[in-house]
Amino acid sequence: MSIQLAYNEDFSEGLKRLMIEECRTAIKYSSKVSSDEEKHKAVHEARKAFKKVRACLRLVRDHIDYYKEENAWFRDRGSEISDVRDTTANIETLNVLKEQYDSELYENAFNDLYKKLEQQRQRSAENAFHKDNQVEKLREAVERKIKSIPGWPLDIQSFNDIRPSIKRTYKRGYKGLRKSLKTREIKDFHEWRKRVKYLRYQIDILNRLWPPVFEVYEDELHDITDFTGTLNDLNNLQLTIQELDEPFKDRDEKMLFNAIKQKHEEVIKKHSLLKGKKFYFDSPSDFCDRMEIYWETHREIMQRKNLPKPAQLEST
């Protein structure tokens, strides 16, 4: 789901609206947990909503004095339920490998591993939804947080108010790409992905500046986060397997898994780096200069009296 300011909405009030809406999204999904599928979807959607709130905060971090406190609050809430999402991601990743390399696998390959991963997921869900009641506690905490957001001091008047934040986010992704190109280490791809994801959400927030262009930007960044996310999921699955007791039925099955996992990893690395080089072409300063042009042009358009909105033009 997109997180976008309305075309002629006040920036500061609009940003607070977006953060409140994401909190409500987390509450909505965490209230629908009657089935196992709904439970795991609730955790996934809540964590995603918290990341979007943090992207909003990062967009104005140089203009507010409560950034560290509120960013840490939403980070910690997401971490509290991360185990449930990680166990689900392990199963999803194994499914991807089986589908991608089906012709190279024998029937019922990795069945023992499936069972152990599913058992692990059930234990994690039991803790989160019943034993420790983490999700209910989370929902209550977010409901309280929503009440405080309208009172947060925020007054963005120009692009210069957010330029340092945009530049920092882009620069970290820019440097993350170059480090990943050099080392090709999973941990570096993971760090790069976090920077790309924040920029992706911020581009979505600013979509109104030039929707057709920003939608392309967001799509390209989405591809990068999908690819690098797969790398992280593959690594997490490997780490989980190392902790399991007899995850494979024999040595041959273990070797087969390692072979297809390594093959898939190399393919994904290649695609994510190609996508990254295509997007992170500008220097951080040049990227911000371009964003400022879009910002100022949008502002000038909104100041012109009697100028129809894009939706009105489309309807004529």
What confidence tens digit (pLDDT) does each residue in 279-311 have?
999 999 999 999 999 999 999 988 886 666 656
Q: What is the mean pLDDT of residues 257-275?
A: 96
Number of domains comprising the chain = 1
What confidence tens digit (pLDDT) does each residue in 27-62 have?
998 887 667 677 778 888 888 999 999 999 999 999
The answer as to whether 6 is a domain residue is no
Q: pTM value? A: 0.89
Which CATH number goes with the domain that contains 69?
A: 1.40.20.10
CA distance 32 to 44: 13
The answer as to whether 5 is a domain residue is no
The answer as to whether 310 is a domain residue is no
The answer as to whether 309 is a domain residue is no
What confidence tens digit (pLDDT) does each residue in 153-162 have?
999 999 999 9
The answer as to whether 1 is a domain residue is no
Which domain, by its residues, includes 214?
11-304
The answer as to whether 202 is a domain residue is yes
The answer as to whether 4 is a domain residue is no
